[in-house]
A and B are shown apart, each in its own frame.
Chain A
Amino acid sequence: MSEILNANPTIRNASDLPSRRRQDTTQSLSKTPKGLFASTVPASAYLPDPFSPHSLDSDLSEDDDNEIEPIDEQEIYDLISPISDPEHPLTLGSLSVVNLPDIHLTPTFPEKGAASPLTTLTVLITPTITHCSLATVIGLGVRVRLEQALPPRFRVDVRIKEGTHSTAEQVNRQLGDKERVAAALENGTLVGVLRKMLEGCESGAA
């Protein structure tokens, strides 16, 4: 990693990054970049998770441990945008490696509706240059961050956005291989790199 692969990446201003006022704003104000109109959105404007089996239950008891927290694309974005690029002191959000429109939450079994709690999360990442050899590590960082932060009902698919990388298919295969990902997380060197990338995230690293 001695040679910087992309010396002059395009960087977005923090104020341009998609965000939303969070309920725990007092703690995260300093960390979370704010959108221009974010403060005008009341906290109660959270939309319920449309894929949550409970979202239509009006009389849901509050002490139900199995209650599924509504999670939307913005929340996913907030989990992964602070991840640091492995070769720049910049976040994946500011480098536009991760982008809100490229995050998709869909029911894993759409035909089953509320009967299945499983949700497929697809994140398409856009490497800063088309031959970036660090794409796999970046993708792994995103997958690890999401698998650690999200409940197990999520099926996380991290892929390279079409047309943005020369060996996308190869990278996608690796990122989608559960066994390879599990083994990578037992590799001390790689875990060190991932830990550094995830330092900026709220609840710790790999």
Chain B
Amino acid sequence: MPSPSSSPKISLLSTLSPPSSSRAWLTAPHPALPLLATCSSDKSVRIYSLTSFTLLSSITGGHKRSIRTCAWKPNLKGESVLATGSFDASVGIWRKYDTDDLNPKPVITPVDFDARDENIDEYEDEEWRFAIVLDGHESEVKSVAWSAGGNLLATCSRDKSVWIWEEVGEDDYETIAVLQEHEGDVKCVAWHPEEELLASASYDDDVRLWREDVDDWGCVGVLRGHKSTVWSVSWEEVTPKVYGEAEGKEDGENWMKRREASGPRLLSCSDDMSIRVWRRNPKEQVQQSRLSIIRNGSSEEDWVEEARLPVAHSRPIYSVAWSKTGRVVSTGGDGAIVVYEERWRQASAEPTSKSVVAQPNENGKGESSGSGPMDGVGTDEEPTQELGGQEEKPAEGERYQQATEWLVVAQFEGAHDVFEINHVAWAPRRDKGGGSAAGQEELIITTGDDGVVKVWTLDV
């Protein structure tokens, strides 16, 4: 049984102001600064402060339809670069010099993609400048992602393709790959935290992995198992974190050794209301597995479904995110936020998935959510995996794999009133209320159909 001391609680810290008046799709935390970028169906991106929780600036005028996605370029100093993807099939790159003061100063920069050359010099330093539009996709762009090094940008679309762009000069991007093996909309792309390995999630129910082999980018793995659209994928951090204490010291060490050889794992969430954990089998240990892919090339990787998270959502799961401290958060059409932890399994006890349900608290009472404490998942039984239809654990018999288990540790229903939640992310806490563990504490950022972005603490 999990000890009572490790029962986190989800509490509302702030509702970002002012919200978007229409559906907001996604909020991307800045990799270094206390900033959030929120994409909205009103064709704008709102830049909010994560210290004052207010709007700092907006990017408007570039895209002709909803902005579905955005991503901050990592590893920059003195300047921020944001990539945006829109239902207008284009990807925009935007730049802004970082200013010391992050005081609210709403800046509107109307930009016409067609007339960019004449306009570009007129902007002042503290404004968002439109840099370049990346055209190529034939229909709505659904997701954009920068590689860990920042030199590669991946984009994906309803046109079933994944494009990889390389920055070859200042505001100069070259298409280095157009990957077309998915058989449906590509919903999400995400880069491995270290390697130039890309994961993509699709309407065709599959997750694919892509990397460069000699000169060509190609598919190196297909992760099959979901029964419907895979909405989102998220990579584990390089250093894993498992909660609790390992029963046997040796089991824990073996697990860590094995995990080190496999590298970061991948999470996927789906319309089938399941969340799956995928692990790479290290090359030298490739075994026959019914879930393994057919190996027909040297660059092929063997990925297996390692675990499924407890079933906690009753509508499509639109977003899942793995935190720096090893926790996982998910959200979706049911409007619930669910936090999971991977814990060392206590061999002596029966498998348990007892979850701790967050009660609406003082911070949350101003919200007219109308939802009381929910007890849907708080049962003592192992959640049934109704949708998968495969009760048995993959690659059973591998002892190290039984060393850990996933538990729901916190839950908040009706987090955006009655609205669906489209996206969830983790961000380090930066405001003054952060307490002694400043910089260590992680916030949960949710983005909803109500146009609202909410910031939550996980009180451990």
- Contact surface of A with B, Cβ cutoff 8 Å: 53, 66, 108-109, 111-112, 115-118, 151-153, 155, 173, 176-180, 182-183, 186
Contact = CB atoms under 8 A, between A and B. Distances in A.
B41 A178 contact: no
A122 B166 CA distance: 46
Interface stretch (B105-113, B127-135, B238-246, B369-377): B369-377
A66 B370 CA distance: 9
Interface of B: 23, 41, 65-66, 68, 87, 139-140, 142, 158, 185, 187, 203, 228-229, 271, 314-316, 318, 333-335, 368, 370-376, 413-414, 417-420, 449-450
B374 A116 contact: yes
B315 A155 contact: yes
A112 B374 contact: yes
A111 B417 CA distance: 18
A66 B414 CA distance: 15
Nearest to B374: A112
- Interface class of chain B by DSSP: loop
11 contacts: A108-B314, A112-B413, A115-B372, A116-B413, A117-B418, A155-B315, A173-B228, A182-B66, A183-B87, A183-B158, A186-B87
Contacts of B417: 152
Contacts, number: 72
A35 B376 CA distance: 42
A177 B140 contact: no
Contacts of A109: 314, 334, 374, 376
A109 B185 CA distance: 30
Contacts of B185: 177, 179-180
B248 to A, nearest CB: 38
Contacts of B418: 117-118, 151-153
Contacts of B203: 173, 177
A118 B375 CA distance: 15
Contacts of B139: 183
Contact of A178 (B333, B370, B373): B333
B66 A183 contact: yes
B390 to A, nearest CB: 21
